[in-house]
């Protein structure tokens, strides 16, 4: 029997395993941290599948070690670190500032009962009920804010679309907002490695009732997954999420039930994107900012790892300032901040924050760069003569490179690629990569959310090339992913490839290169976001020769977002 326990220490009340019986009878549990002093406080909340009682260091030790090197004071100077959990706020740094912090084990995980179905609509409805519960507690001021990274950000987009009455603001930090396009199927290609590795390592290890879980609560010594249940009960109490991803290869009802209805979101939001998060969340934060119905919304793009940007004091101060305004009503100037704040990246890996009024930037010049198969170039004028170049789809690549820039050159914004291809097989996958080359011709890569990354990436399965003209824009094609249009071998087809948003300032003498291939571009093996499942990419369909056509009637070209700059050396 799991019961609630309450302790008080250093001015903070810790209620462990607070139970809420939901409308369908399932019992979910949360940890609640609140100020000891009587009063009514704003609530910041997160729901996730990674275990509210599993310490960050125990579950994600490599990431913990990296973060500790970047931020040695993580578990000192204001926090003991006892309550640090992966991708959620540290209660010891929030409660003293007058916030109630709630961390919920989602249905079927940790110490919450029920059927485990990640990102599903039932889980989203559970979150709604928790928000409404928190909004009417005697220690609550009636305003609930949501905050968290990745899974915990995805859930924010989903539940905010239901408009719980007590929800007052959200901070989805590095979290995809559109289930199919952002995470499951990039350009219609199954993103399998993360899902198939994430499921056993990060989710099943936390399933409610798992007696095999190695996770223990550091405070109590108890297993963090509640009572031990049989393997038969466990298997019958969960969805087969990897197989669901694999078998739902189009944007069908299953995927749409897990997509946030962004236009329905009306609460103020701060959407925090990571330029180096190209494999999952980057597009989601930009699309979330653009497509939500919120009248008050801000976009913040940063660099660095997936976790440092959430925990470093500078970023925590931004989060608190946002919530202090919308959960407390503080007149701290947040509402007068420009809606777009971007870390403009430089080729040496540094960045400087610049504030803007719109995304894409209002002064963007959309500059075409034409592919030249005969010379391997990217050039400002279309080649008059036709050309073509081949590559082996599963292992080859072709690259097209600009001349050295004659002055510092900034590209910040979404990128599109119109690519004319033919294939010897009935389908082809396109992996489009923007790369930074130094004056010696060596590629320069960057710290990403989880691994070294190039400047930008985009994906498209040729048979998923159909676009929706009403939802497409000049800077972002919208692929419907509701139809399969196979290729006729040897016939030439135009593809509109979406390359995810980027920012880079090239110094004088540096060059931009576009690499096109039919397999993952991995800077450092093995690569976190791979697309190599044999059932999704059978060799008979995808293992042929792909031809890129340029010039003449087939003027393949990039459209880059050029931003005017003062002349620099």
Cβ contact 123:114 at 8 Å: no
For 438-456, the pLDDT digits (tens) are 999 999 999 998 899 999 9
Say if 308 falls within a structural domain: no
Q: Cα–Cα distance between 464 and 480 in angstroms, integer?
A: 8
* Residue 351 resides in a domain: no
* Residue 1 pLDDT exceeds 80: no
Q: Is 233 left (phi over 0), alpha (psi -120 to 50) or beta?
A: alpha
CA proximity to 90, closest of 126, 119, 64: 64
**CB proximity list for 473: less than 8 A, separation 6 or greater:** none
What is the pLDDT confidence band of residue 113, given thresholds at 50, 70 and 90? very high
Position 543 confidence tier, pLDDT thresholds 50, 70, 90: very high
| Chosen domain end from 206, 232, 248 | 248
State the residue for tokens 């739902």. Answer: 248
pLDDT digits (tens, 9 = 90+) for 276-300: 986 889 999 999 999 999 999 999 9
Mean pLDDT of the chain: 96
The whole-number pLDDT of residue 528 equals: 79
pLDDT digits 0-9 by tens, 160-204: 999 999 999 999 999 999 999 998 999 999 999 888 999 999 999
How many domains are there within the chain?
2
Q: Specify if 271 maps to a domain.
A: no
> Does some domain include residue 413?
yes
Domain endpoint, select from 186, 215, 248: 248
- Per-residue pLDDT at 567 exceeds 60: no
Asked if residue 238 lies in contact with residue 116, where contact means CB atoms within 8 angstroms, the answer is yes
Residue 424 forms part of a structural domain: yes
Residue 441's domain comprises 365-563
Paired residues of 435 in beta bridges: 513
Tell how many helices (H) and how many strands (E) occur in the chain. Answer: 13, 27
Q: Quick one: 421 and 551 in the same domain?
A: yes
Q: Is the pLDDT of residue 569 over 50?
A: no
- Is 371 found in the same domain as 230? no
Domain boundary pick from 248, 278, 308: 248
Which residue is listed with tokens 């369908």?
24
- The answer to whether residue 178 is domain-embedded is no
Please indicate, yes or no, whether residues 371 and 237 belong to a single structural domain of this protein.
no
Q: What is the pLDDT of residues 410-432, one digit of tens each?
A: 999 999 999 999 999 999 999 99
Is 241 found in the same domain as 378? no
Residue 457 CA to residue 279 CA, distance in Å, equals 8
**What burial letters (b/e) apply to 249-278, b meaning 16+ CB within 10 Å?**
bebeeebeebbbbbeebebbbbbbbbbbbb
CATH number, residue 419: 2.60.120.260
Phi, psi dihedrals of residue 540, rounded to the nearest 5° = -65, -25
Q: What is the pLDDT of residues 391-415, one digit of tens each?
A: 999 999 999 999 999 999 999 999 9
Peptide linkage before 360 cis (omega within 30 of 0): yes
Same-domain check for residues 402 and 531: yes
State mean pLDDT over 536-565: 96
Both 243 and 371 in one domain: the answer is: no
Residues 497, 33: Cα–Cα separation, whole Å: 46
Mean pLDDT value across residues 51-69: 97
Q: Is residue 290 part of a domain?
A: no
**Is 470 part of a structural domain of the chain?**
yes
What is the residue whose two structure tokens read 């393949």? 556
Model confidence, pTM: 0.96
- End-to-end Cα spacing for the chain: 69
Preceding peptide of 526 cis, ω within 30°: yes
DSSP state letters, 198-216: HIIIIIGGGBTTBTT---B
Quick one: CA dihedral 60, 61, 62, 66, positive or negative? positive
Phi-psi region of 266 (alpha: psi -120 to 50; beta: other; left: phi over 0): alpha
Tokens of 104: 């919920």
Residues 221 and 370 both lie in one domain: no
Integer Cα distance of 11 and 6 in angstroms: 13
* Residue 12, domain CATH: 3.40.50.1820
**What integer pLDDT is reported at residue 566 of this predicted model?**
63
């Amino acid at each position: 029997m799991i019961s609630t326990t309450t302790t008080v220490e250093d001015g903070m009340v810790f209620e462990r395993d607070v139970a809420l019986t939901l409308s369908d009878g399932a019992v979910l549990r949360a940890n609640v941290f609140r100020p000891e002093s009587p009063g009514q406080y704003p609530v910041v909340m997160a729901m996730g599948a990674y275990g509210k009682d599993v310490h960050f260091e125990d579950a994600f030790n490599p990431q913990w070690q990296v973060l500790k090197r970047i931020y040695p004071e993580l578990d000192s100077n204001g926090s003991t670190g006892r309550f640090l959990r992966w991708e959620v706020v540290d209660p010891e740094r929030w409660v003293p500032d007058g916030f109630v912090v709630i961390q919920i084990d989602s249905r079927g995980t940790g110490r919450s009962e029920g059927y485990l179905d990640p990102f599903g609509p039932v889980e989203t409805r559970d979150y709604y009920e928790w928000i409404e519960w928190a909004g009417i507690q005697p220690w609550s001021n009636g305003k609930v804010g949501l905050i968290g990274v990745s899974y915990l950000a995805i859930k924010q987009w989903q539940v905010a679309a239901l408009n719980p009455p007590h929800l007052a603001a959200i901070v989805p930090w590095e979290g995809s907002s559109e289930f199919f396009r952002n995470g499951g199927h990039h350009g219609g290609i199954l993103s399998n490695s993360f899902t198939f590795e994430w499921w056993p390592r990060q989710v099943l290890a936390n399933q409610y009732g798992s007696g095999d879980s190695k996770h223990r609560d550091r405070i109590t010594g108890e297993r963090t997954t509640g009572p031990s249940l049989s393997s038969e009960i466990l298997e019958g109490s969960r969805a087969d999420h990897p197989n669901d991803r694999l078998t739902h290869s189009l944007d069908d009802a299953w995927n749409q039930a897990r997509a946030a209805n962004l236009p329905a979101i009306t609460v103020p939001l701060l959407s925090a994107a990571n330029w180096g998060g190209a494999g999952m969340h980057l597009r989601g934060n930009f699309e979330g900012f653009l497509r939500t119905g919120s009248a008050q919304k801000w976009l913040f793009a940063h660099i660095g790892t997936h976790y440092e940007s959430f925990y470093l004091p500078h970023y925590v101060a931004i989060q608190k300032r946002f919530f202090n305004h919308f959960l407390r009503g503080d007149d701290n100037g947040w509402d007068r901040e420009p809606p777009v704040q971007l870390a403009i990246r430089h080729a040496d890996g540094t960045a400087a924050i610049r504030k803007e009024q719109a995304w894409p930037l209002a002064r963007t010049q959309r500059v075409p760069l034409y592919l030249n198969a005969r010379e391997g170039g990217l050039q400002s004028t279309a080649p008059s003569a036709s050309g073509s170049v081949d590559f082996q789809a599963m292992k080859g690549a072709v690259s097209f490179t600009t001349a050295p820039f004659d002055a510092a050159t900034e590209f910040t914004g979404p990128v599109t690629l119109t690519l004319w291809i033919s294939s010897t097989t009935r389908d082809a996958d396109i992996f489009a990569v923007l790369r930074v080359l130094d004056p010696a011709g060596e590629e320069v890569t960057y710290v990403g959310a989880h691994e070294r990354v190039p400047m930008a990436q985009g994906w498209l399965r040729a048979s998923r090339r159909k676009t929706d003209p009403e939802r497409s824009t000049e800077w972002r094609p919208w692929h419907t992913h509701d139809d399969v249009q196979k290729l006729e071998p040897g016939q030439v087809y135009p593809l509109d490839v979406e390359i995810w948003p980027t920012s880079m300032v090239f110094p004088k003498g540096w060059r931009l290169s576009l690499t096109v291939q039919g397999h993952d571009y991995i800077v450092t093996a093995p690569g976190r976001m791979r697309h190599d499942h044999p059932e999704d990419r059978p060799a008979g369909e995808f293992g042929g020769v792909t031809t890129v056509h340029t010039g003449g009637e087939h003027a393949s070209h990039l459209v880059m977002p050029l931003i005017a700059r003062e002349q620099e050396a």
